[in-house]
Structure formats: C-alpha cells, structure tokens
Amino acid sequence: MIPLLLLFTLRTFSCNDAFVLLPSNIQRHSRAAIHHAQSMIKLHTTMSNFTTETTSEEVSNIASEAESLEEESKKKYIYIYDTSLRDGTQGESVSVSCEDKLKIANKLSNALKVDFIEAGWPGSNPKDIEFFTKSQTVLDDEIKQKLTAFGSTRRKGIKNIEDDRQIMTLIESKAPTICMVAKSHLKQVEDILRTTDKENLNMIYDSVYYCKQIHKRKVFVDLEHFFDGFIYDKAYILQCCDVAIDAGVDGLVLCDTNGGTMPWDIHDMTKEIVDLYGDKAIIGIHCHNDCGMAVANSLSAVQAGATMIQGTINGIGERTGNADLCSIVPSLLLHMNYTSTCKSALSNITTVSRFVDEVLNRNPNPAAPFVGQSAFAHKGGLHVAAMERDEKSYQHIDPTLVGNEKRVLISELSGRQNILDKIKESGVSFGDQTSERALAILNRVKSLESIGYTFEGADASVHLMILHMSKEYCPPFRVLDYSTTVFDFDLDSASRVLGSNSDDDSVVIKDEKSARNGARATVLVRAVQLDDKVCDENAPYTDRLEVSDGNGPVDALAKALIRALQPSHPVLADIELVDYKVRILDPEKATGAATRVMIEFKNKVTDELWTTVSVDRNVISASLNALIDGFEYALLDYIDNAECIVL
C-alpha cells in the first residue's frame, strides 16, 4: 500500500509509475482538502487492484468533509447564555414555579444545547433556593454543569465577605458558574449605591476573588449600565474592568441596562473593551429591548469581538424585554460567520420557543422572526406563484432549518396558486380538473370572506372545503338537527352573575355548582356503525340522540356532540377545545348582527392544533358549524371512506 500522491500543478496522481488525470470530482476541492484526503487513502500497489472511479469518489467525499471541517474551524465560537429563568421572569405577567423552571432548564439544555442557564437569584427568594436544591438530584450532570447562579457583589462596608448572606447563598447553590451584577456607572455608584468609587471597586474585587479563587467557581460580572457609564466616565468603567480581571474573572458582560444605546455605539464601545481585555476574559453582551434594538445590538457586539450573548427565549423580560435568543441564534448561525453548540439543535428552536410560552402560559407571538407561526406564511397570490418556482424568492431561509414550516394562507388576496398548494398538501387528486376546482374553491373563499369569514387562521376549514369538493370523500358523520335551551331561575342580574364573598366586600363569579342557571343541548347525529353484531348491511350507520347540560349553549352543544359521536369514533376522547373566539361583524345591526366564531382544537396525544371558522347571524349555529368542522377534521386520519355517511 502506498499513499496517494496528488500533484497539484499537473492535477495527476502517481501509482506504480503510471500517471492518471485527476477526475473532475476531485479537482474542484481545495489543495488543503485534497491533502487531507491524501493522508487518509492508500492505493494498492498494483494497477490491477485499483479502480479509478471508486477511489476518486472516496477522495472526493473525504475532501468534502475536510473542507466542511476547515470552514467550520474558521468560524468564531459564540457562547449562548440563557437568562430566561432569571431576567426573563421579571417581565410583566411572567410567573414560573420551581417545577416549571426545572422543565425549562431541561429543554434549554437537551433541546437547544445552550452553554449557560442562569436559573435564578438564590439570595433573593425561597423559590430560587428551592430550584438549586432540587437541581442537584433532579437534573442530570450535563445540565447541572450549565447552571448559573445570579447575584450581586458584596454589600458595602462589609469587612468579612462571609458575613454577606447573599454571597454565601451563591456558594451554597453549588452552581458551577456565578454571575454577579456590579455597578460600573460612577453616577449610579454615588447616587443609587451611595458609596464611594473606591469602595465599589473593592466590592467587585472581593466578590470575584472569593468566588473564583477561594471556591473555584467560574465567575462572570454583569457590568450594569455599562454603555451609559462608558459615556459618563470611561476611566471609571475601565477601573471596574481592571479590578475584575485582577481578581480572576472569567467574563466581563457589558450591559445595555436601559436599552437606549444604538447598534453603532454598541459596536464601537464593545470593540474598545475587546481590544483591551479580549485576551484575558470572555467579553459578553446583555441588551434590553427598550428601543427595539436588543437583537441588533447583540449582533453588533459580536461583530466587534464579543464572544458571549446573554438573552432570553422569545425576548421575555422586564419592561419591553431582553434580547431574543430565538432571533439571535439563527442569525448567528445562518446569516453570520459564527458557530455555537446550538448549531446541531437549531431545528429544535421553534419547539423550544413554543414550549417556554406554553409553560409560562403566554400566547406565542405569531409574527416572531424565525419561530412565529407567521414567520414563513405567504398570503399574496403573486408571492405564492413566485415561490412555486423558487422558494427563496420570498423566504430568507429554509423554514425547516429552525423547525418551522412554510404556510400558504387563504384569503380574498389569494391567487389560484395558493389553492393549488393547499390541494397538494391535502393529498386530494382532481386529475385534469385540478385547475378548474382550484378556481372554484378560490371563488368560494372570496365569496365567504366578503360576508365575514376569515381563513388565514383556519386551515382546517380550508382543508375540509377541498375534501368536500372531491368525489372520493364523504364525511364520517352528519348532524341531522339540534336544539338548545337556556334556563334561569333568578332574573336579578347582579345576583345571577355575581356572588358575595363572606370574608370581605369583594364579589366573585359563581362557580358551576352554585349557579342556578345553565343550558341544555340536544343533538341528533347520524354516525358510522362500527359494531358488526348490530350492523345492518342496508344501514351501515346509526342515528343517535343525545342530551347534555353545560355552562352555556355552546358548551352544552360540544358535550352533546362528543357524547353522540364517541361510540363510533372513540378517538374524540383525546380532543379538547382550547380556544373560542367570537367577533361581531356588523355591530350597527345590534342583536341582528352577523357573528364570526373561531374555535381552536387540540389532540391531547399528538399536541396537534387546528382551527375552524364559521359565520352566521345566529351565534349558536355559527358555533355548531365550527364544532362540526373541528370534530370532522380530527377524524380524517382515522376514518375509512368505505365506511362513511353518504349525504
């Protein structure tokens, strides 16, 4: 066996004194890559044992791999530091339990693979102490190594740092990394902290030294109000950095605490710090979004040389929020020449975004870049037609790279191509009538939207509309008739709706058991008969009459409908209604106004969500139609069209 000799000038290789022209699939690679392939492949010493085609393919594959590794090695590594569980929880209406924190920490580490998880301030509240205590037994070692405990520098005037309880809770948390906030703006030191510039420097040094040198923790210092302080007194800012470096700090984090700095100023000030301290410590960036610049500022800092970004999932945080990691991470990896551990998990970022919103009981922002439901949604007919030829024409990336998907919206602005895409998604074949059927569906959509329907958020209704245009499809059930009754035994409006709280003067809404009013619904449904013992060949279906009570007529209808359908379709036991929206379309007609109802459903087993829509001047009829569509859509994967109700 002899090594493959690649002669770059002649583009040939030698084997037993024979020269062979290098195949074109090898020539395209760089010299460094071919050299890598040369070191890994050996050829047999006899030409009879050598196959040019096979060997050239091997060389090409290894060269491609080498080039990929070479290109990746050129990218600068950026640490991703998540502070959703600490800074993110300072956002209005954001509340999270200890158990929820543990769930989110698991997701951040296992699904997104962030480098650091700032999980709380153990010195500020019992919940965070509980988290760090439980984390030692509940979380695996890999996640525990990423945990960061947040705190502040020691209190002013303390001679023995161990007398500072807040510092001691950081050590007791057992977190391998500690991040402490320090005042770096001289005016803040004097007016807010109310101490001397020298004492503040001592506070920084003592705190970093104790945690780093005595307890061997990794230590980051968040330099609060850094950019404002840099402008106010640059010399003092540098003194703060110097004492932290002297104490052995691992990272200096530059904080745009008030969120008022512009990207170009962030870049210039960060570059000065990187030039001075970049070889001594990690330089990080922490931005708030008060001017809507948090993402841009974070990326500007990275361009200036910062190598760590602090942010939160979905940009949650105090006031207008923090820098959004769901925008920053994809931008770094897909649009800039940087890399991180998140790269291998980038396709999970949409799932992580929605998971955090779900745990925090927040409504996801549909317009969020990269991860929002509308991030790759296309409505205009011309846009959709162009994307049929080239998807890059109106998309900056492939949505699957971030775990999202392209969506074609149906509305009065749609063109035929929007409908054709939906037909393709549905799997329905209209043969040579596809274009004609698409036009018919489009005209129906435009007609319905003219009277108040909206199909942008009701893909399930569009899907069913397409199916009902197909001769091969017939629905799995049919509602033959229904009725609802609302009953009330107390017509005093105040006592009917509200009940007194005996402990104080406040009032509370009556619960279901104590209310003396309600609703009852009756439905007659024709459904598939699945019991072979009673199935009549001439009647492969059964009619069921069911009655149910509920909190109101729509609630009663939903319960009665499920009760009537479950014997034939047990899978409906896994379906729940998660949202119900009503909008009055022509309020000038008062009680005779048309009403649009949108209902969102969820499969509790698969977590799939879908929405249906209906419009009627009778809100009960509109609600029932939306319910029927929602349950029919839920059955699409389970029904056999050979056993369906022919209308």
Separation in Å, CA 38 to CA 1, 15, 519: 13, 13, 80
Per-residue pLDDT at 478 = 87
Q: 503: number of CA atoms within 13 Å, CB side? A: 1
What span, in angstroms and rounded, lies between the C-alpha atoms of 524 and 563? Answer: 11
* Residue-wise pLDDT tens digits, 147-170: 999 999 999 989 899 999 999 999
Q: Tell me the pLDDT band of 267, cut-offs 50, 70 and 90.
A: very high
User: Per mean pLDDT, which of 29-43, 206-220, 521-535 is the most reliable?
Assistant: 206-220
345-371 pLDDT, tens digit per residue, is 999 999 899 889 888 878 888 889 999
- The residues that bridge with 2 in the sheet, in sequence order, are 43
Alpha helices, DSSP H, located in 75-196: 98-107, 126-138, 141-144, 165-172, 186-188
Q: For position 625, what pLDDT does the model report?
A: 87
Q: What is the pLDDT of residues 50-99, one digit of tens each?
A: 444 456 666 667 666 666 666 655 669 999 999 999 999 988 888 888 88
pLDDT of residue 295: 96
Please provide the average confidence, as pLDDT, over all residues in the chain: 79
What pLDDT sits at residue 303? Answer: 95
The pLDDT confidence band at residue 618, using thresholds 50, 70 and 90, is confident
Res 17: pLDDT: 38
Q: Where are the beta strands (DSSP E) in 189-307?
A: 218-224, 251-256, 282-287
Q: Max alpha carbon distance in the chain (Å)?
A: 107
What would the pLDDT profile of 17-39 be if each residue is shown by its tens digit? 333 344 444 444 444 445 445 54
pLDDT at residue number 489: 65
Q: Which of 10, 8, 11 is nearest to 23 (CA)?
A: 11
Contact assessment for residue 178 and residue 206, using Cβ atoms and an 8 Å cutoff: no
Question: All domains of the chain, ordered by start, with CATH?
Answer: 2-74 (no CATH), 76-359 (3.20.20.70), 377-468 (no CATH), 477-634 (3.30.160.340)
HEC per residue, 258-289: CCCCCHHHHHHHHHHHHHHHCCCCEEEEEEEC
Range picked from 233-237, 384-388, 523-527 for highest mean pLDDT: 233-237
Mean pLDDT confidence for 518-545: 73
Q: What does the chain come to in residues? A: 647
pLDDT band (50, 70, 90) for residue 632? confident
Sign of CA dihedral 223, 226, 229, 235: positive
How far is CA 145 from each of CA 136, 137, 375, rounded to the nearest angstrom?
Answer: 10, 13, 34
- Phi then psi for residue 298, to 5 deg, are -65, -45
Share of the chain above pLDDT 70, in %: 70
Taking only Cα atoms into account, the Rg of the chain, rounded to an integer number of angstroms, comes to 32
In the prediction, which pLDDT does 568 show?
A: 85
pLDDT, residue 388, reads: 65
CA distances from 505 to 465, 510, 623 (A): 53, 15, 37
Which pLDDT value is given to residue 78? 95
What amino acid is encoded at 556 in this protein? A
Give the helix ranges, DSSP H, for 469-617. 493-497, 553-565
pLDDT at 431: 64
Q: Is 250 helix (H, G, I), strand (E, B) or coil?
A: coil
User: What values do phi and psi take at 602, rounded to 5?
Assistant: -145, 135
Question: Strand 517-528's sheet: what is its strand order?
Answer: 477-488, 517-528, 541-550
CA distance 250 to 384: 50
d(CA 454, CA 391): 25
The pair of three-digit structure tokens given for residue 177, joined into one six-digit string: 């990394």
Is 120 in a helix, a strand, or coil? strand
User: What is the 3-class SS of 127-138, one letter each residue?
Assistant: HHHHHHHHHHHH
Query: Which is more confident, 93 or 540?
Result: 93
pLDDT at 541 over 70: yes
